[in-house]
Amino acid sequence: MGTALTFTIHSGGTSRQETLDITTAVIAGWTGRDKVALEKHIVELEELGVARPASTPIYYRCSTSRFTTATVLENTGPDSSGEVEFMLVNVGGKRYLGVGSDHTDRKVETYGITVSKQMCDKPIAPELWVLDDVLPHWDSLILRSFAIIDGERVLYQEGTVNSMLPPDEVVAGFSGADLSAGSVMFCGTFAVHGGIRPAERFEFEMEDPVLKRTIRHGYDVVVLPVNG
């Protein structure tokens, strides 16, 4: 069983809508190319009580039903937060690039990272680029996220993807080959400005300064009460 998601796919100045059937979801962590920056992010999470990974990169499986293009996220309790990640999609042998948020329950993460990955939906932008269109200038792609906290919009993350392993290396660490058909993979993130913290709204984007285009998405976070 899989999850059907509808995307607008952009390539060569044209756009088309297509519904893709996602059958496998993977979240790659600790994919940093820069070992200093990687260590900084590990320390960030250690300060929240999250244990160091056994290896880097590391790969977590997640239910495909957690991936959503919705603009509202409901989470139990106030301890979750998002982080921007580039996303690889392989459907029918065609490889696409998107952007999403690995929204995670930070309290659960302190005792079980794999469990925490399954606790929250994973918002993704309903747009994709053809991966081959950006590979020639891959390292120039920029990821950003913004958090709305107490009504104020602040820059939460910003950096180029050259701080993370390139797509083929991330995928090879999981499968030893290419991403299998029907798969989606989050491919890592970088440190945040001001420390990891919850927000009432989270926005993220991926910019291609060479082809002069940007994919953007955002979602409101609704906190559900914890009663007992």
Residue 21 confidence class, pLDDT cut points 50, 70, 90: very high
Long-range contacts of 165-169 (CB under 8 A, 24+ apart): 165/31, 165/32, 165/33, 165/57, 166/138, 167/88, 167/97, 167/131, 167/135, 167/138
Q: What is the pLDDT of residues 56-92, one digit of tens each?
A: 899 999 999 999 999 999 999 999 999 999 999 998 8
* Runs of H (alpha helix) within 120-217: 131-134, 167-175
The pLDDT assigned to 1 comes to 66
For the record, the structure tokens of 123 come out as 């918002």
Lowest mean pLDDT among 122-126, 176-180, 201-205: 176-180
Separation in Å, CA 73 to CA 20, 97, 226: 22, 23, 16
Question: Beta 122-123 vs 94-101: how paired, if at all?
Answer: unpaired
pLDDT at 46 over 90: no
pLDDT at 5 over 70: yes
For the record, the structure tokens of 19 come out as 């519904």
Residue 51 confidence class, pLDDT cut points 50, 70, 90: confident
For the record, the structure tokens of 196 come out as 């990891």
For the record, the structure tokens of 224 come out as 């559900």
DSSP 3-state of 131: helix
pLDDT at 132 over 90: yes
E strand segments, 23-131: 24-29, 58-62, 67-68, 72-76, 80-81, 84-91, 94-101, 104-105, 122-123, 127-130
Between 170 and 35, name the one with better pLDDT. Answer: 170
Q: pTM value? A: 0.93
pLDDT at 228 over 80: no
Between 9 and 40, name the one with better pLDDT. Answer: 9
pLDDT at 45 over 90: no
The pLDDT assigned to 178 comes to 78
What is the signed CA dihedral for 58, 61, 67, 71, rounded to 10 degrees? -50
For the record, the structure tokens of 177 come out as 């080959």
Lowest mean pLDDT among 16-25, 32-41, 154-163, 190-199: 32-41
Average pLDDT estimate for 205-226: 98
The pLDDT assigned to 38 comes to 79
- All structural domains of the chain, each given as residue ranges with its CATH number in brackets, are 3-8+19-224 (3.90.850.10)
CB 183 within 8 A of CB 26: yes
pLDDT at 95 over 80: yes
